[in-house]
Structure 1
Amino acid sequence: MTTHPDDPAGKRAQFRKLHDRIFVMPNVWDAGSARILAPMGFSALATTSAGYAYSAGLQDLARLITREAIIENARAIVAATDLPVSADLQNGFGPAPEDCAETIRQAIAIGLAGGSIEDVTEDAAAPVFEIGLAADRVRAAAEVAKGAGFVLTARADGLLWGQTELADIIARLQAYAEAGADVLFAPGLTDADAIRRVCASVDKPVNVLMGLSGAALRIDELAAAGARRISTGGSLMRAAMGELQRAAAAIRGQGDFSYAARAMPGAAIDALMSDRRGD
């Protein structure tokens, strides 16, 4: 199924339907990476705050990345592809429920099909919002999202911030589902048993992050565990940066330029960057 690039409602309906069964949604960090991945057979793309931050020379922290910058990055990606795009919207760019609601309003305005809101504060002393406030933040975002058919993903990020009790993560996901989230996401799950437990404990589709160290499950294994969506976070950007570093190290250390044999030909990249979506 394809949609017209100027049909955001169609893209949102298409994106929502994808969650009926498992699919992979790779994360891109700019319009160029979107154009490289879009023709490869994926059904949707996502943005990555980490990928954007690294490309801008920043750490992946909400306090260092503005809402305006993330929205503009997402706008360029939406314009580069006919596929539905879901955005990594950090923690909603503010502690209040209205901050999250405003972020979703702006995401809808640029044609995004969906987006995620995290429950992290980035305060080392209290790294995640209290569960009641966190659910209120999701509720405010969901009230805006539902009117436009926007697919809202609620993230419980505690596993990335030192929380180890899976029961606590599940309780949060259940609260976020009750608050109106369409998709649930707990980045940091790395084994099939934990993913199966999470999926069995909630009544909404679950997104699983692959590309983290120690997470090497295959699509069929994730499907068997109950996952409905697989994203890659910043891992594709990190893979590209790893190749850059290795190539430069070979040049500097051995005078070796063999990396060029692995590089995409310029003509192939030029063809992908040519905007033929209106043909």
Structure 2
Amino acid sequence: MTQTELAATFRALHDDLLVLPNCWDAASARIIQQAGAPALATSSAAVAWSLGTRDGNVLDRNLMLEHLRRIIAVSSVPVSCDIEGGFGDSAADLAETTRLVIEAGAVGVNLEDAFDRGLRPVEEAAARVRVVRDAADAAGIDLYLNARTDGYLLGAADFDDTVARAAAYLEAGASGIFVPGVTDLETVSRLTAAIDAPVNILTGPSAPPIAQLKAAGARRVSAGSSLAAAVFGHVERAARELLDEGTYTGLEGAHTWAELNALFE
């Protein structure tokens, strides 16, 4: 498919429920696609960790782009890129980030409204959404802009503020709203009823089953960094078993060399 077709496909996936087990490198992307994912989305935290960097708007943009290109090169489904806060505080930096991820082949982005452990003023955050939308329009791609609002994630949960921010971001050009930090079904139902766009919920081990989140109105459910964290946890457990016990149960169920190699033919 062309990038334009991939963009249209990705947008249409939000008409029902899109489930995204987030990837962090080419291998995880290829395996997730092989498992049946109709689209891929990167996790900024997992990408940062895999490159030896802490999460939180400190990853070098060029490193992120190199990783993104590798992911897209092995994928045949739409790919959305987590651009955190935009890799730069200025509008020019944000527009350039948008242009570069589109040039790499991405058809979606996540953009956060958190900055230095707080939330940007809503007018400033909405203006940044507009910068991304204008840059995507200039590139000729109907970019799916998933505007993330972090009030619940930062422990400053305010339903009315979240809904007001969502409205401002949608007016500025967002395609959907991402509200990490909330999984209780009552709040999810209230948010999806109040926000006139697809709502993305961040899931994890303690979250309700996806079927219940769908029934509560979620139209996108993503794993964020949880899948990578689970993989890294397994690596540590298997390594400790090898080192401490000299046994191999942690290696059971692994793909064979031939299976993994075949993913990249």
TM range (shorter): over 0.9
How far residue 132 of structure 1 moved from its aligned partner, in angstroms, is 0.9
User: How many correspondences in the alignment?
Assistant: 263
For each residue in 1:213-234, what CA deviation from the matched residue of structure 2 results, as whole angstroms up to 9, or x when unmatched? 532x222211111111111111
Following superposition, which runs of at least 4 residues in structure 1 exceed 3 angstroms of deviation? none
DSSP-derived class of the 1:181 partner: coil
Aligned 8 A contact 2:107 2:141 in 1:
no
TM-score (ref. length: structure 1): 0.90
Give the percent of matched residue pairs that are identical in Structure 1 and Structure 2.
41
Contact 2:151 2:158 in 1 (8 A): no
Can you list the C-alpha shifts for 1:239-271, whole angstroms capped at 9, x where unaligned?
110100111122233222222223222121111
Paired residues of 2:98 and 2:136 also in contact (CA < 8 A): yes
Which residue, out of 125, 130, 137, partners 2:128?
Answer: 137
Q: Does structure 2 conserve the Cα–Cα contact (< 8 Å) formed by 1:100 and 1:138? A: no
Unaligned runs of 5+ in 2: none
1:171-190 residue pairs with structure 2 within 5 A? 171-190=164-183
**Once the 2 structures are TM-superposed, how far is the Cα of residue 108 of structure 1 from its aligned partner?**
1.2
Q: How does 1:59-70 map to 2 (within 5 A)?
A: 59-62=54-57, 64-70=58-64
Matched position secondary structure for 1:223 = helix
Can you list the C-alpha shifts for 1:132-172, whole angstroms capped at 9, x where unaligned?
10111111111222441111111002222231222222221
- Unmatched 5+ stretches in structure 1: 275-279
**1:214 and 2:199 correspond:** no
Identify the residue that residue 242 of structure 2 maps to in structure 1.
251
1:1-279 counterparts in 2 under 5 A? 3=1, 7-62=2-57, 64-121=58-115, 123-124=116-117, 127-146=118-137, 147-211=140-204, 214-215=206-207, 217-274=208-265
CA distance in 2, matches of 1:117, 1:55: 21
Q: Are the counterparts in 2 of residues 98 and 137 from structure 1 also a CA contact under 8 Å?
A: no
**Which amino acid is the alignment partner of residue 220 of structure 2?**
R
SS of match in other structure, 1:161: coil
Task: Normalising by structure 2, report the TM-score.
Answer: 0.94
Residue 51 of structure 1 and its aligned partner are, at CA, apart by 1.0
Moved more, 18-27 or 78-87: 18-27
CA RMSD of aligned residues (A): 1.4
Instruction: Quote the Cα distance in structure 2 between the aligned partners of 1:246 and 1:257.
Output: 11
Match of 1:277 in 2: none
